[in-house]
Amino acid sequence: MNENLIINGSGSYPGGRYDKISIRGEGTIVNDVECAVFHVYGTCEAVENLTTGSVKIFGEAEVKGNMEAQETLVMGTMAVGNHAHLKKIKIFGLLEVGERLSGDVAVIKGSISVDGDVEYETFDSSGGFEIKGLLTADTIKIGLRFGESSAEEIGGGKITVKKRKNSLLPFGKEIGTLTAKVIEGDEIYLENTKAEIVRGNMVKLGPGCQIGLVEYRKDLTVDSRATIKTKTKI
């Protein structure tokens, strides 16, 4: 049984193995750290790597190296310098990752910013994202409420992008948009999306789409409020 690390004030602490880490003040962990539970209500900086089971961030946390976790809940702000393998994430606040982000299930209600690729089995966003690399998942559901979400490329089995009414700003003029160079999948439904290339078996383009080239194998349906420059059946 490992000990707990409870930080109420401020200071630097060694890494190592702990059962539970709870930070209510301001803490710096100077070496690699492993724990079952990692809760931050204040501010925390882990200078190296973090491996943990359950993470809850209500304040601010920064991991400068790699991070691995089973369940992650971010209500505040979390930044990972390198690679983050986070099996299940629920982001209500902000998550920033310097390299790759991967796992099983991602639910984004806040926003994520990732400099590398994002790879999940299920990716469900009703918030916003900026992905400099590739977003891949078997199932991708994107609800556009506000602002611009973007990825270099998006690939998956079933990809659904729909605009959502913003309940907080019912009279707001701003509508969310998705921008990507390439969107490729088996079944694709898009709204309010700008892409250079969309490629798939079954492609449906709804209102607000601006697409350069559509390549489809089986079926293409285009709403009158969508624009396409070129379409080809492959």
What is the mean pLDDT of the segment spanning 105-123? 98
Token digits of residue 201: 């078996």
Residue 127's domain comprises 118-234
Would 12 be classed as within a structural domain?
Answer: yes
As for how many domains the chain has, the answer is 2
pLDDT reading at 5 higher than 80: yes
pLDDT reading at 167 higher than 80: no
End position of a domain, from candidates 68, 99, 130 = 99
Would 112 be classed as within a structural domain?
Answer: no
pLDDT at 26: 96
Are 122 and 234 members of one domain? Answer: yes
**Cα separation of 195 and 59, whole Å?**
36
pLDDT reading at 171 higher than 70: no
Are 201 and 232 members of one domain? Answer: yes
Residue 38 DSSP SS3: strand
- Whether residue 40 contacts residue 60, with contact meaning beta carbons closer than 8 Å, is answered with yes
Would 110 be classed as within a structural domain?
Answer: no
Are 217 and 134 members of one domain? Answer: yes
Are 95 and 122 members of one domain? Answer: no
Token digits of residue 17: 């193995």
Q: pLDDT tens across 201-221, in order?
A: 999 999 999 999 999 999 999
The dihedral over CA atoms of 119, 55, 13, 63, expressed in degrees to the nearest 10, equals 20
Would 200 be classed as within a structural domain?
Answer: yes
Are 68 and 135 members of one domain? Answer: no
Would 165 be classed as within a structural domain?
Answer: yes
pLDDT at 147: 83
Are 191 and 157 members of one domain? Answer: yes
Share of the chain above pLDDT 90, in %: 91
Are 178 and 216 members of one domain? Answer: yes
pLDDT reading at 172 higher than 60: no
End position of a domain, from candidates 45, 67, 99 = 99
Q: pLDDT tens across 52-98, in order?
A: 999 999 999 999 999 999 999 999 999 999 999 999 999 999 999 99
Would 29 be classed as within a structural domain?
Answer: yes
Q: pLDDT tens across 25-52, in order?
A: 999 999 999 999 999 999 999 999 999 9
pLDDT reading at 22 higher than 80: yes
- Whether residue 95 contacts residue 89, with contact meaning beta carbons closer than 8 Å, is answered with yes
**Cα separation of 47 and 45, whole Å?**
6
What is the mean pLDDT of the segment spanning 173-181? 86
Would 144 be classed as within a structural domain?
Answer: yes
Q: Quickly count: other Cβ atoms within 10 Å of residue 36's Cβ.
A: 15
3-state secondary structure 133-185: EEEEEEEEEEEECCCEEEEEEEEEEEEEEEECCCCCCCCCCCCCEEEEEEEEE
Are 209 and 168 members of one domain? Answer: yes
Cα 37 from chain centroid (whole Å) = 22
Helices (H) and strands (E) in the chain, counts: 0, 23
What is the mean pLDDT of the segment spanning 121-133? 97
Would 213 be classed as within a structural domain?
Answer: yes
Are 144 and 65 members of one domain? Answer: no
pLDDT reading at 174 higher than 90: no
pLDDT reading at 173 higher than 90: no
pLDDT at 93: 97
Are 41 and 139 members of one domain? Answer: no
